[in-house]
A and B are shown apart, each in its own frame.
Chain A
Amino acid sequence: AQTVTQSQPEMSVQEAETVTLSCTYDTSENNYYLFWYKQPPSRQMILVIRQEAYKQQNATENRFSVNFQKAAKSFSLKISDSQLGDTAMYFCAFRYGNKLVFGAGTILRVKS
């Protein structure tokens, strides 16, 4: 079975600081993609960043970057220069074939 584990139910960070959200996954698949989605209080699911499993280079999107460790099956999200608008639930997800598997989510609160 494919599983995604987010071990931090809640986190908080001061505005302008850096925070890292953890994610581990378990799979026997070779061809897969990893995603981080953001869900603000509006409930809308928004793609933050994606990583191709066969690429060793870590993906980066502006203030968001990942640390992808394929052997350890780890996919953490780093948010730099945190902003109040980053307050949201963050989901790590793993896609193989036609299926997308989500972790339980981490609530991130950015404090002013």
Chain B
Amino acid sequence: NAGVTQTPKFQVLKTGQSMTLQCAQDMNHEYMSWYRQDPGMGLRLIHYSVGAGITDQGEVPNGYNVSRSTTEDFPLRLLSAAPSQTSVYFCASSLAGTHNEQFFGPGTRLTVL
């Protein structure tokens, strides 16, 4: 199993540009989520999904869109990038249930100039 994969690993954008961060998992996990990691703030939940066709907002959803058309994929879209979105982004997945471990992807470092 590849686990959770994310592409790209690094990305530089200009203010106002759009892009999609890709996330895929091959563990048949129902639950998938996106976090951003900023210095001194830990990881904060952006959006999550409990299954195909179902998404919901996390703690910091503004400026980001998601969709979940398949169990495997959960892309994160930045429609108009801003410098405040410079961060490291992590995708995670798990089986349904509060007790289950979330498995994290390797992260994407995004810089918005």
* A residues adjacent to B (C-beta < 8 A): 4, 6, 9, 31-33, 35, 43-45, 47, 50, 52, 91, 93, 95-105
Contact = CB atoms under 8 A, between A and B. Distances in A.
B58 interface: yes
A95 B35 CA distance: 14
Given A43-B106, A98-B31, A98-B50, A91 B98 contact: no
26 contacts: A33-B99, A35-B101, A44-B104, A44-B107, A45-B43, A45-B90, A45-B92, A47-B101, A47-B102, A50-B99, A95-B98, A97-B98, A98-B48, A98-B50, A98-B56, A99-B58, A100-B43, A100-B45, A100-B102, A101-B45, A102-B43, A102-B44, A103-B42, A104-B40, A104-B41, A105-B42
Nearest to B109: A43
Contact of B107 (A35, A43, A97): A43
| Interface core residue of A6, A35, A102 (most chain B CB under 10 Å) | A102
Interface of B: 31, 33, 35, 40-45, 48, 50, 56, 58-59, 88, 90, 92, 98-99, 101-102, 104, 106-107
| Interface core residue of A31, A97, A104 (most chain B CB under 10 Å) | A104
A91 B99 CA distance: 17
A103 B43 CA distance: 8
Contacts of A96: 98
B50 A52 contact: no
A38 to B, nearest CB: 11
A4 B59 CA distance: 14
Given A98-B31, A100-B33, A100-B45, A32 B98 contact: yes
B42 A44 contact: no
Contacts of A9: 40
Contacts of B104: 44-45
A97 to B, nearest CB: 7
Contacts of B102: 47, 95, 100
